[in-house]
């Protein structure tokens, strides 16, 4: 298991937290919570080691569109980059419902 952390600049306050997904094979769990300051913090624990660059690419892309001041925790059980992106978008959708 590998732990990875990233920070992205953010400015928009969000009101509601969201939890989506399951730590099942090929899937992941996302916990998205409102935070303070002007930064979005992402904390990842993944069962598959050695994919830091791929995680960075997925999150860089996600944060080109998302600007919420949040703390995101990801517990991953080998999800593909596509699944990760979909779960992140689902978490945003739930938090803005």
Partner 1 sequence: MSNQAYSPNFIKRRSFIELNARERASVFFDAGTSRELLGPFDRVESPWLPMQGVTPQEDDGCVVIKGKIAGQAAVVVALEGAFQGGSIGEVSGQKMTAALDLACADNEKGILTSAVILLETGGVRLQEANLGLAAIAELMASILALRKHAPVICLTAGTVGCFGGMSLAAGLASYVVMTREARLGMNGPEVIEQENGVEEFDSSDRALIWAIHGGEQRYATGLADALVDDDTPQVAEVIRRFVSKGVPPEHRSSQVALYRNRIAKLDTSRQWDPKEFRALWTTNASNEENR
Which residues are at the interface with partner 1 (CB under 8 A)?
Answer: 1, 17, 19, 22-25, 27, 29, 31, 33, 45-47, 73, 75-77
Q: Which residues contact 54 (CB under 8 A, 6 or more apart)?
A: 81
Shortest distance, position 81 Cβ to partner 1, whole Å: 17
Minimum Å distance from CB 23 to partner 1? 4
Residue 20 and residue 74: Cα distance in Å, rounded? 10
Count of C-beta atoms within a 10 Å radius of residue 9: 10
| Residue with smaller CB distance to partner 1, 10 or 76 | 76
Closest approach of partner 1 to the CB of residue 59, in Å: 17
Q: H or E segment at 85?
A: helix 81-95
């Amino acid at each position: 298991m590998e732990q990875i952390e990233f920070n992205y600049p953010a400015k928009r306050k969000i009101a509601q937290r969201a939890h989506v997904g399951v730590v099942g094979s090929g899937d992941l769990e996302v916990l998205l919570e409102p935070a303070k300051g002007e930064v979005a913090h992402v904390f990842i624990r993944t069962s598959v080691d050695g994919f830091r660059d791929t995680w960075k690419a997925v999150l860089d892309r996600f944060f080109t569109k998302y600007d919420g001041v949040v703390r995101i925790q990801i517990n991953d059980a080998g999800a593909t980059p596509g699944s990760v992106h979909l779960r992140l978008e689902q978490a945003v959708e739930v938090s803005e419902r």
